[in-house]
Structure 1
């Protein structure tokens, strides 16, 4: 499932809930000198980082969405999967400007085995929402927010919304009440309010503070046991 937001106040703060069935998505928290990410075990035997933060502030996350035919996987030099784009951004192989250029010049498609949309943001709070087969948007304002429904074409995913799933609406209401001093603690309060339980429970919640150059994270909704990972000085 998952939910992601970017808040632009005195600090640029991003929050993310990683809601998955571990039997489907084998994951580990990986802390490298230049990156914090959730390593997803893929068929090639490697743990890929599709949800994470680079020390330069690049933050990328994939979120499940009901797929549309226009975003179906295809190979070729004129197409790029949303997973590859997101991983390259988290690895800082591409900048935010380059990511924007790519979505404007290439066809962004789903991976062969999963239908996902993405949020890419940088340390300045610039945010790009990407929906394969639908399009992309540079998002502005006080905050950006995405969950598992299309924002660019809401009607395309409306039939598949789960009854009672109001995470997006609840998070939007809470974010709208915040001020310039929005903090890491405030971000975790929102993630806690929209956490999931059951088979697709929230397995990892993380918050990145651009000003502090630090990722704060909690596993399995244990918000009283928040851990930190601070990037080395540049």
Structure 2
């Protein structure tokens, strides 16, 4: 059965339509309109306060912890960053970490809030209790990570700085994400490596590029389901 002209055009649009549209926007406007901006923790941090938590909304393949630890180092808060992965029986410990953080100026990171269903009401109570934060240390911050969930307290979410860091789509975007992340984004990462040996320095740069390319390939293979990997691995930036 032969396709008519409309069906031929429709098939081409489905295959190449998005690519041609992105090319048109890049040529007539700017590449920034089609490329995702680099993940910027600093601007989000500036919008926060001891009473305004920061919430990472997770997606498959995303892990903000490496970026958070790197940023903590730039703020001289790495040694004062306390993390806990929530789960059964971790509620009292998390509450104590929050109270200590308010007093001593720690960064408290509550990971995987979506699994601590029974403790989310207590988290809401703590965050809404103004007496706890009356004399809070100015350096204190509460960071939460959670997949989208109906059990996450609405009042905490509304009063927080919300961030999402979805994994990039496409080989090019994956590689750009890696090269725009710490430490690859630093000039000294390449210039200081084997600076006295040009041959080793050249091989170093080639090796880094090959590793980033390989990382992007294994990330993209996830999009093909069982054809890509027999087991659905959760690769993310921390694996690089």
Structure (1 or 2) with the greater strand fraction: 1
Query: Which structure has the larger Rg over C-alpha atoms?
Result: 2
TM-score range normalised by the length of the shorter chain: under 0.3
Structure (1 or 2) with the greater helix fraction: 2
Structure 1 length as normaliser, TM-score?
Answer: 0.28
Structure 2 length as normaliser, TM-score?
Answer: 0.27
